[in-house]
Amino acid sequence: MMSIMKTLSKTIIISLLSFSSWLSAAPAWELVDEAVVKNAEQVIQWRRWFHQHPELSNREFNTAEYVARELSNMGLDVSTGIAKTGVVALLKGGKPGKTVALRADMDGLPVSEQTGLEFASTVKAQYDGKQVGVMHACGHDAHMAILLGVAKTLSAMREDISGNVLFIFQPAEEGAPEGEEGGAELMLAEGLFEQYKPAAVFGLHVGLNTPHGVIALRRGPLMAAVDTLRITVEGQQTHGARPWGGVDPIVTTAQIINALQTIVSRQINITKVPAIVTIGKISGGVRHNIIPDEVEMWGTIRTFDAAMRDQIHASIKRIAANTAAASGATAIVEIYNGYPVTINDGDLYDRMLPTLARVSGDVPLLNPDLFTVAEDFSFFANQVPGLYFYLGSVAEGVDPLAAPSNHSPLFDVDESVLEIGTRALSHLAMDFLSSE
């Protein structure tokens, strides 16, 4: 009995020593939160500068210069010109460990702002051959400000960090201009992750119909893969009064569009995950009484499963070709692969969920439905385990479903939630590195 008690006492002492050691090694959460609060006004000012000075994809020259300067002032190792205008900075912790990556996107949209904010954008730029307004209508201004806030917070306590933090300011999330490369895919192609070898990557997105101050995320697929569809229907021109004298590509196009609707409704198992095939643009003909030679249509494909994605692509090609052939026309189908599915790594999700729950406090985390929008964060998360979450940025008390959505000229961010985003990414980085 005495031997058992001695063994038990030794076990308890060892356990207490181990627990004490864990406490001393645990992230200094209170210090992080104090620094976030201290930097909160600066984060707001950063967001307002970005909002007032938006730039289109692959044209974020002034934005990149501003970001690089702020990061350099924090004493970080900064690299510019990544994937044309991207900026990365490495924070080297005072203790050995792995590297974690945090990402924000930089580009604005060809949208003329209508918010009436004092710091509203009045920027104009060339887009698709036209002079357009430019606006941060998707919240990338908030993402950059939050990530700068995280960099400032963690750089002040670098000696307590076990490992390194890689800050990624990525251009062209909204898509590179036609004929150009860009975004996360190009950053990776240039060797970003090969150089820094992060063990995980984290990111966030404001808006997306999430309630004020709420953190929302789900395990596994979160946002859809997106592909662009182009179908050219070739017929034979004839007078509108003599349709039998040619082959009408307009009628054939209408038949193809109707037939494409059977893919989602009749040909795939939508009990597994949803899918979308949408035709958004049709062009053909020049006059009311002339049947043209050719009609062109453009569309978008959204999927959450790789096998289903391949099945839908094959179905589109088969339906378009056979429907056109039945009318004596031909259909040329081109599908341009876009962003893959954004997937939250299961193990990383389970591991970091308590961190986000702690940051969220009394506000429960939300497990949202699948989002059929797409994000090129997916390229990063395909290389290393990734975790991406939403942060509700509507004003308190506002129904997020009734508020202007992302990409609207009226879209705005309640700046009080910037502090939550800064805390969330800071805690994720600290917790991940300390647990590694």
Q: Annotated catalytic sites, by residue? A: 339, 415
Residue 115 CB contacts under 8 Å (≥ 6 apart), including other chains: 409, 410, 411, 412
Residue 11 CB contacts under 8 Å (≥ 6 apart), including other chains: none
How far apart are alpha carbons 191 and 195 in whole angstroms? 6
The number of helices, as runs of H, and strands, as runs of E, in the chain is 11, 17
Residue 150 CB-density burial (10 A; 0-12 exposed, 13-18 middle, 19+ buried): buried
Residue 94: count other Cβ atoms within 10 Å of its Cβ.
12
Of the candidates 22, 45, 74, 35, which has an alpha carbon nearest to the alpha carbon of residue 145?
A: 45
Supply angle C-alpha 85, 90, 91, rounded to 5: 145
Of the candidates 232, 94, 217, 66, which has an alpha carbon nearest to the alpha carbon of residue 164?
A: 94
Q: Kind of pairing, strands 162-170 and 86-92?
A: antiparallel
Angle between helices 249-262 and 306-326 (to 10 degrees): 150
**Torsions phi, psi for 162 (to 5 deg):** -95, 90
Residue 94 · residue 157 · CB < 8 Å = no
How far apart are alpha carbons 391 and 107 in whole angstroms? 19
- Which 3 state secondary structure label does DSSP give 234? strand
- Token duo for residue 356: 């986000």
What residue spans of 338-406 are helical by DSSP H?
Answer: 346-360, 377-383
Distances (CA, A) of 138 to 64, 111, 125, 128, 373: 18, 10, 17, 20, 12
How far apart are alpha carbons 427 and 407 in whole angstroms? 29
Residue 284 CB-density burial (10 A; 0-12 exposed, 13-18 middle, 19+ buried): middle
